[in-house]
Structure 1
Amino acid sequence: MSHMPLSHAMPKLYLLTNDDEFELLYQKLEAALSTGLIALLQIRRKQVLSLPDGASTLFKEAQKIIELAKIYKVPVVVNDNVQLAEKLGVGVHLGQTDGSIDNALKSLLPHQIIGRTCHGDVELVKEAKNDGASYAAMGAVFTSTTKPNANIISRQHLTEGCQQGIPICVIGGITAENVLELVNLPIALVAVVGDIMDLPVADIAQRCHEWQQAFSNWKIPT
């Protein structure tokens, strides 16, 4: 299992794909990855997967995305599917109902990243750590366009989650502006979809640099 650093002087950017048409998605990913500011990439293509030939389409798309990520030395995880991750030779991000970490550890190579969704539940964060996950994802931190009905977690639960000895990823409606509300927390990863992927290709690199600027204001917890 790959270990993410518990905390940095500043967090790292964790980019998730959206459901853009593939050619456009690829251009956006290339623009983002070429900045050197993306630490982890998740392939999450729910709409593609729901198509009649979704699984085979996703596999082909994922192969191309992984090749692109390799050029920029960015590790990749796929959403929800250990079998697909194993087939592609990448990591996986598992929701609470998407299989066990134990199964993922047995199926994947030791260096592959295994993430676990923990919502706002500190007990689930502890469980993820004990089970051997690489990171625990907590959210939604803010209301997001991707999951508008997701429960917003409390600052107290997020703070407690950061104290459990496992790298914490935050997700949910986070922008390069509102992320500064989290500056005193030892967060390892900030997961972003819309704030980068909803932009035109030409604006993506600049937005990644704005994220880096926001992270440079991070206060190191003492």
Structure 2
Amino acid sequence: MAQSTVLKAANASNMIPKLYLLTNDDEFVLLYQKLEAALKTGLIGLLQIRRKQILSLPDGESRLYQEAKQIVELAQAYNVPVVINDNIELAAKLGVGVHLGQQDGKIADAKQQLLPNQIIGRTCHGNVAFVKEAKNEGASYAALGAVFASTTKPNADIITCQQLIEGCQQDIAICVIGGLTAENVSELAGLPIKYVAVVGDIMDLPVTQIAVRCQQWQQAFLEWNMPA
């Protein structure tokens, strides 16, 4: 993802992205501590609950519900909106938003079951047709990626600069995801991106380092629209 290419093609924008944090598969007590450290900074704009390993357990759904309840309460204490990954019913039960993969539910069903103010995200990979479809169906944002190689999803296809730029031109809020760090995100500077989704670059750190890392992300965002 060449910085000069992206900057040249980007429309001028005063938008500064928000940090969109996703949970990892840490043991829950540790996960909660990490989330609290991040949320305390006031720099998290959106939180996604994604617990694949928990869901794979025999009692995964009930465990996820109990965990998610606690995470939602924590996020509410810091006024951070929450989305649940791929589960409209759980999102409705908890009164939060949802993020849907292409094969994980219809946006129309989410809109029908969730409150009007709840966020609905849609995975669009690098497919601009999916972005247009998400907009037309009423999604809150379209997620594009992977931007870089990721340890979370190492086999995900990397999108091109052109796919990212075209996605940003579809008049829907854009989220980018995949291998992003506080250092390499500057390669996207100037693009009208609403959310930068992060897992490993924050959640793989010890609890004591998370607040500092969030501050480093915020510094990268503050430099978003500065001249190159």
Which band: TM-score by shorter chain?
A: over 0.9
Superposed displacement of residue 219, structure 1 = 1.6
In the alignment, what sits opposite 1:134?
140
Asked if the contact 1:10/1:220 (under 8 Å) is kept, the reply is no
Q: CA RMSD in A?
A: 1.1
Asked if the contact 2:14/2:225 (under 8 Å) is kept, the reply is no
Q: Gapped runs of 5+ residues in structure 2?
A: 1-12
CA gap 1:60/1:31 in 2 versus in 1, 3 angstroms: same
Alignment of 1:46-65 (within 5 A): 46-65=52-71
- 2:35 matched to 1:29? yes
Asked if the contact 1:93/1:116 (under 8 Å) is kept, the reply is yes
Asked if the contact 2:15/2:193 (under 8 Å) is kept, the reply is no
1:134-165 C-alpha deviation (Å, 9 max, x unpaired) = 00000000000000010000000100000000
Q: Gapped runs of 5+ residues in structure 1?
A: 1-6
* TM-score (norm. length: structure 2): 0.93
Structure 2 Cα separation of the partners of residues 168 and 96 of structure 1: 16
Count of matched residue pairs: 215
Q: 1:100 aligns with which of 100, 106, 111?
A: 106
Asked if the contact 2:177/2:197 (under 8 Å) is kept, the reply is yes
User: Matched residue of 1:19: which SS?
Assistant: coil
In the alignment, what sits opposite 2:123?
117
In the alignment, what sits opposite 1:207?
213
1:153-197 C-alpha deviation (Å, 9 max, x unpaired) = 000010000000000000000000000000021111000000000
Superposed displacement of residue 8, structure 1 = 5.2
Structure 1 Cα separation of the partners of residues 75 and 156 of structure 2: 29
Letter in 1 for 2:106: S
Letter in 1 for 2:73: E
Structure 1 Cα separation of the partners of residues 67 and 216 of structure 2: 28
User: Matched residue of 1:13: which SS?
Assistant: strand
Alignment of 1:64-103 (within 5 A): 64-103=70-109
Structure 1 Cα separation of the partners of residues 140 and 76 of structure 2: 20
1:32-87 C-alpha deviation (Å, 9 max, x unpaired) = 00000000000000000000100000000000000000110000000000011011
User: Matched residue of 1:104: which SS?
Assistant: helix
Q: 2:194 aligns with which of 185, 188, 196?
A: 188
Structure 2 Cα separation of the partners of residues 219 and 159 of structure 1: 16
In the alignment, what sits opposite 2:51?
45
Superposed displacement of residue 9, structure 1 = 2.6
Moved over 4 A (4+): none
* TM-score (norm. length: structure 1): 0.95
Structure 1 Cα separation of the partners of residues 111 and 15 of structure 2: 29
